[in-house]
C-alpha cells in the first residue's frame, strides 16, 4: 500500500503546480514507509541489529517526512529538528534495548509515542490553518483516528498487551497491524484530498486574476460584480465603480522600458488594493486601465475614496518606480437592472472628462 501511495503522491507532485506544496515530502514519507515495511519483512535475511536500526529509522523518517509535507503545505517552516530529535531518542532507545533490557513492550511504547507526536502535530496544523472545507474535515478525522490507534498501541504496550515481538500473534498486535496498513492507504488519500482542493482553489484564482498584478481579471470582476448586484437587489446597498487610467503611460514605457512600465502597473494595483477595504474589488481590464468596485458606497463617498487612492499613489512613489499619476472616472449603479456595460460606459465618460481637463484628477459621470 505504501509503495502504491508513493507513486500516487509522486505523480501528483510532478503534475500539480508549485503552489501546492508538500506533495514531494509526503511522497518521500511513503517511500520511507515502503522501505520500512520491506526491512521488517526481510527479518531472517538481515542481521537483527541492522534490521532494527534501519527499519525503525525509516519508520520514524516516514512519519517525520509526512509532518514536514503537511507543514510545507500550510506554508510553515519544516521542523527538521523534530525529526532529528525523534530519531536520536529512538536510536538511544534501541541501544538501551540491546545494552540494558530487551523489553519489547518498552520499545513499542517509545516508538508509538514518537510517531504519535508527528501525527498530533499534523492534526494541530490542520485545525489551526486548514480551510473550512470537507477535505480538511476528512483528513483531520483520519489524523485523529491514526493518533488514537497509536495512543491505544502505546497504552497496550504499557499494559503489556503487545506480546514479546512484532510477530507475536496477540489480538491487539493483529488489530494494530491491520489498522496500520489501512491507515497507510487512508493517510495518503487524506492528504491527496486536501491537495486536490488546494489545486482547485489555485486554478480558480488563476483563471480569475491578472497574472501581472494579481488583481482580478475581467472574468473574476464579472463574478464579483454579480455578487454585488445581488446584494443591491436584496438589501438596496448602493455601489460605485471607479475607472482608473494611468496618465501618459506610453511615455513611461518609451522612456524607461517595458519592464519598468510593468513595475508601475504592479505598483498601481497593489497601492490601490491597500488603499481600499477588503470588501472592495480591484480589477485590471488589460493595458493600463483598472476598475474598482466599491461595495455599499455612494457616488459622494466614492469621490473621497478616489482622492484617497490618488493620494496613496502619490505617497507610495519612489524606489524603483518613476513618478506617475492617474485619472479616475466615477459612476454609481443607478438600479439593479443597469448592465455592467452601461455602468462602465458612464464611468469611462467621467474618465475622459478627467483626461480632457488635464489628467491627474477624478470626475464623476
Residues designated catalytic: 288
Among residues 25 and 263, whose Cβ is nearest to ligand GTP?
263
Q: Cα–Cα–Cα angle for 224, 225, 226, nearest 5°? A: 95
Instruction: Choose between 22 and 329: whose C-beta lies nearer to ligand GTP.
Output: 329
Beta bridge partners of 330: 242, 364
Instruction: Check: CB of residue 282 under 8 Å from CB of residue 312.
Output: no
Residues belonging to the chain: 365
For ligand GTP, which residue has the nearest CB?
Answer: 261
Burial class (CB in 10 A: 0-12, 13-18, 19+), 335: exposed
Q: 129 or 355: whose CB is closer to ligand GTP?
A: 355
Give the nearest distance from C-beta 243 to ligand GTP in angstroms: 11
Bridge partners, 150 (sequence order)? none
* Shortest distance (Å) from residue 269 CB to ligand GTP: 11
Residues 6+ apart with CB under 8 A from 287: 249
Q: Measured from the CB of residue 258, what is the shortest distance to ligand GTP in angstroms?
A: 4
CA distance 72 to 82: 15
Orientation angle between helical segments 299-315 and 258-275, nearest 10 degrees: 130
Q: How far apart are the first and last CA of the chain?
A: 66
Closer to ligand GTP at the Cβ: 104 or 352? 352
Integer Cα distance of 256 and 197 in angstroms = 42
Comparing CB distances to ligand GTP, the nearer of 237 and 359 is 359
Residue 289 or 338 with smaller CB distance to ligand GTP = 289
Nearest approach in angstroms of CB 241 to ligand GTP is 18
DSSP string, 250-265: HHHHHHH-HHHHHHHH
**37 burial type by CB count under 10 A (0-12 exposed, 13-18 middle, 19+ buried):** buried
**Residue 262 C-beta: closest distance to ligand GTP, Å:** 5
Q: At closest approach, how far in Å is the CB of 306 from ligand GTP?
A: 16
Shortest distance (Å) from residue 238 CB to ligand GTP: 28
For ligand GTP, the closer CB: 83 or 264: 264
* Grid cell at residue 143: 489524523
Question: Interface with ligand GTP by CB under 6 A: which residues?
Answer: 212, 245-251, 253, 258, 261-262, 265, 287-288, 355, 359
Residue 319's region, left for phi above 0, alpha for psi from -120 to 50, else beta, is left
With residues binned 3-state (H G I as helix, E B as strand, rest as coil), the percentages for the chain, rounded to 5, are 70, 10, 25
Amino acid at each position: 500500500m505504501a509503495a502504491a501511495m508513493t507513486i500516487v503522491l509522486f505523480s501528483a507532485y510532478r503534475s500539480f503546480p508549485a503552489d501546492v506544496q508538500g506533495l514531494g515530502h509526503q511522497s518521500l514519507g511513503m517511500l520511507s514507509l515502503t522501505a520500512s515495511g520491506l526491512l521488517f519483512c526481510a527479518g531472517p535475511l538481515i542481521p537483527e541489529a541492522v534490521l532494527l536500526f534501519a527499519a525503525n529509522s525509516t519508520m520514524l523518517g516516514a512519519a517525520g517526512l509526512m509532518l514536514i509535507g503537511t507543514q510545507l503545505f500550510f506554508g510553515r517552516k519544516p521542523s527538521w529538528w523534530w525529526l532529528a530529535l525523534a530519531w536520536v531518542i529512538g536510536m538511544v532507545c534501541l541501544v538501551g534495548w540491546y545494552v540494558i533490557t530487551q523489553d519489547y513492550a518498552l520499545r513499542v511504547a517509545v516508538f508509538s509515542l514518537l510517531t504519535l507526536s508527528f501525527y498530533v502535530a499534523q492534526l494541530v496544523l490542520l485545525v489551526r490553518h486548514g480551510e473550512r472545507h470537507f477535505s480538511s474535515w476528512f483528513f483531520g478525522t483520519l489524523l485523529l483516528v491514526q493518533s488514537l490507534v497509536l495512543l491505544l498501541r502505546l497504552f497496550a504496550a504499557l499494559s503489556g498487551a503487545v506480546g514479546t515481538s512484532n510477530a507475536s500473534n496477540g489480538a491487539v498486535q493483529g488489530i494494530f497491524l491491520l489498522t496500520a496498513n489501512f491507515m497507510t492507504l487512508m493517510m495518503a488519500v487524506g492528504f491527496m484530498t486536501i491537495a486536490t482542493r488546494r489545486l482547485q482553489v489555485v486554478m480558480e484564482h488563476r483563471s480569475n486574476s491578472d497574472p501581472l498584478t494579481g488583481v482580478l481579471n475581467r472574468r473574476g470582476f464579472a463574478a464579483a460584480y454579480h455578487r454585488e448586484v445581488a446584494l443591491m437587489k436584496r438589501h438596496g446597498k448602493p455601489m460605485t465603480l471607479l475607472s482608473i487610467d494611468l496618465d501618459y503611460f506610453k511615455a513611461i514605457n518609451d522612456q524607461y522600458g517595458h519592464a519598468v512600465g510593468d513595475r508601475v502597473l504592479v505598483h498601481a494595483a497593489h497601492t490601490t488594493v491597500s488603499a481600499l477595504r477588503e470588501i472592495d474589488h480591484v480589477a485590471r481590464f488589460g493595458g493600463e486601465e483598472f476598475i474598482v468596485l466599491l461595495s455599499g458606497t455612494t457616488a459622494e463617498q466614492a469621490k473621497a475614496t478616489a482622492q484617497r487612492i490618488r493620494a496613496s499613489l502619490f505617497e507610495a512613489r519612489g524606489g524603483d518606480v518613476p513618478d506617475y499619476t492617474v485619472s479616475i472616472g466615477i459612476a454609481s449603479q443607478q438600479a439593479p437592472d443597469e448592465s455592467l456595460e452601461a455602468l462602465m460606459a458612464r464611468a469611462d465618460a467621467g474618465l475622459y472628462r478627467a483626461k480632457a481637463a488635464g489628467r491627474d484628477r477624478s470626475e464623476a459621470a
